[in-house]
Structure 1
Amino acid sequence: ECPWDRKQTQESIISYTLEEAYELVDTINRRDLLGEEAVCGELGDLLFQVFFLACVAEEQGHYNLADVARTIREKLVRRHPHVFGEAAANTPEEVREAWETIKRQVEGREGIFHDVAEAFPSTLFAQKLQQRAAAVGFDWKQASDVLTKVREEMGEVEQELAGEARPERLQDEIGDLLFAVVNLSRWLRVDPELALRRSALRFKERVEAAARAAGEDGLAFENMDLDQQEAYYQQAKKEHGQ
């Protein structure tokens, strides 16, 4: 047996599981470049984490991989009465409503935010909270109202900047602004995490392209003034799409 494996606990494995999940997301987003075999490989890495966690739990006398498989099977059957039972659900919205009802009434989960893990990434955490609040009717009436809220929060950031610009207040105001933007994304059916990731990747590609172009001209991007950097950046933006 591997000495490193023997020392692991569920807590020590968590960071590796999260890392593998992010690597899978990255590979899926770049599968046109990396290919489906790369996605398959990352799925295997993530699956190994499931096996590893189950093995650790089994050694501690809790449950094993068969228990994990049985539990998810039972859960899927229970939460899909429109597939495995006599219930009817004709739209995705009806399926989602039935899913939430079953979790509350059948599985005994209480509280509006009962299944929203605080360990979620911030944008996902905010999105889940907003979705759960909306499910009980606590929501804006239309997307334009949310956009007004975004503008309001932006105004509060500007107001703080025009005043004392206290770090703790700025953190709160920026947080409120981001929360409102996530809410707007939810209303527009845009995944905020994926949208932000796409924007970040575009920025990364453009800056790298600008630096390469500068290098081809015998210049070091990091030694340029801002106007020169911006000129190369705008050129890269044109060449690599908006």
Structure 2
Amino acid sequence: MSKNFDELVTVMARLRAPGGCPWDREQTYESLAPYLLEEAFESFDAIQDATEGKPENLREELGDLLLQIIFHSQIAEETGDFTIEDVCATITRKMILRHPHVFGDKKFDTAIDVLQNWDELKKSERAITKTDETVKDSILEDVPLAFPALIEANKLTKKAAKVGFDWENTEQIFDKLREETEELKKAISEDENIEEEIGDLLFVVVNLARKLDVEPETALKKTNRKFRLRFKFIETELKKLGRNLENSDMKEMDALWNEAKKIYK
């Protein structure tokens, strides 16, 4: 390992050792789980900054994420489960085995060929290592229930599409979108099943994104970010006028929103 990496591992070991940090010493796999998820999402968010030429946040967030991996590995080493060396060795072997076109004699012409081979290799690995002893009733059981809803929906429909359960083209999805929109309007007018129909509508939009090779979580994150910037513009401009959101109205805010759209596209 590199000097910096080894130093980080040593720091974590010291924090967990007798005489170390009381908080760090109390942590378990379970207590750290929310932090791992939080750091993963903060890294996800920092990627947008990096694409805009500001990689500093991503560097910091990846460090925080790496710390969580080392933290879990330190706990594992103390309990005799595995070490950080085992973690690195396992992923290295996996990457070599799943890239026979790089480290072996296989030849693939497209990225799709690579992904198809990747899936086949995953099945073979499970059979050899017997890491998937339980007989599954559905191919969808591979998708964790803990995933955020947009990611889960995308993964579920990708699994289904791989076995042919999919629309032939985007126009068919737009037809379904119109159908679900009408069903939602009906639900609203009858004041029943509104939540269910909203869910169905969102699910179709996720399918549309998948069909267009757009990652829906990333797309919505970018839109959320754009909304933040545009709304902040409204607040800032109102302050310049000696006003605030409470004493403004929709007409004024909408005019400022249209100005913000020209700046934050």
User: Deviation per CA, 1:163-199, whole angstroms, max 9, x where unpaired?
Assistant: 1x12xx1111111100100000011111111111111
Gaps of 5+ in 1: none
Which residue number in structure 2 is paired with residue 146 of structure 1? Answer: 173
Q: 1:235 to 1:176 in 2, by over 3 A?
A: same
Q: Are the counterparts in 2 of residues 54 and 63 from structure 1 also a CA contact under 8 Å? A: yes
Per the alignment, residue 136 of structure 1 pairs with 163
Equivalent in the alignment of 1:7: 26
Q: Does the alignment pair 1:219 with 2:243?
A: yes
User: Is 1:183 the counterpart of 2:183 in the alignment?
Assistant: no
Within a 5 Å distance, the mapping from 1:57-206 to structure 2 comes to 57-108=76-127, 111-163=138-190, 165-166=191-192, 169-206=193-230
Q: Give the residue type in structure 2 aligned to 1:210.
A: I
Q: Indicate if the aligned counterparts of 1:215 and 1:221 stay in contact, CA closer than 8 A.
A: no
Give the 4+ runs in structure 1 shifted more than 6 A: none
CA distance in 2, matches of 1:139, 1:208: 40
The aligned amino acid for 2:109 is N
Distance in 1, Cα, partners of 2:264 & 2:93: 47
Segments of structure 2 that go 5 or more residues without pairing to the other structure are 1-19
Contact 1:27–1:34 (CA under 8 A) maintained in structure 2 = no
Separation in structure 2 between the aligned mates of residue 179 and residue 32 of structure 1, nearest angstrom: 28
Aligned-residue RMSD, C-alpha: 1.7
Aligned-partner SS, 1:120 = coil
| CA offsets 1:22-53 (integer angstroms, 9 cap, x no match) | 22222221136783333222221111111000
The answer as to whether partners of 1:113 and 1:132 remain within 8 angstroms in 2 is: yes
Q: How many residues align?
A: 238
Question: 1:152: how far off?
Answer: 1.1
CA distance in 2, matches of 1:40, 1:208: 26
Superposed displacement of residue 229, structure 1: 2.0
Counterpart residue identity of residue 196, structure 2: D
Matched residue type, 1:38: N
In the superposition, the TM-score normalised over structure 1's length comes to 0.92
1:127–1:186 CA contact under 8 A, matched in 2:
yes
Which residue identity is paired with 1:160?
A
Offset, 1:54: 0.6
Distance 1:63 1:129 in 2: 31
Partners of 1:28 and 1:142 in 2: how far apart? 31
Task: After TM superposition, give the deviation of residue 63 of structure 1 in Å.
Answer: 0.9
DSSP 3-state at the match of 1:113: helix
Equivalents in 1 of 2:171, 2:55: separation in Å? 40
Give the direction of change, closer, same or farther, for the CA distance of 1:77–1:115 in structure 2 (3 Å limit).
Answer: farther
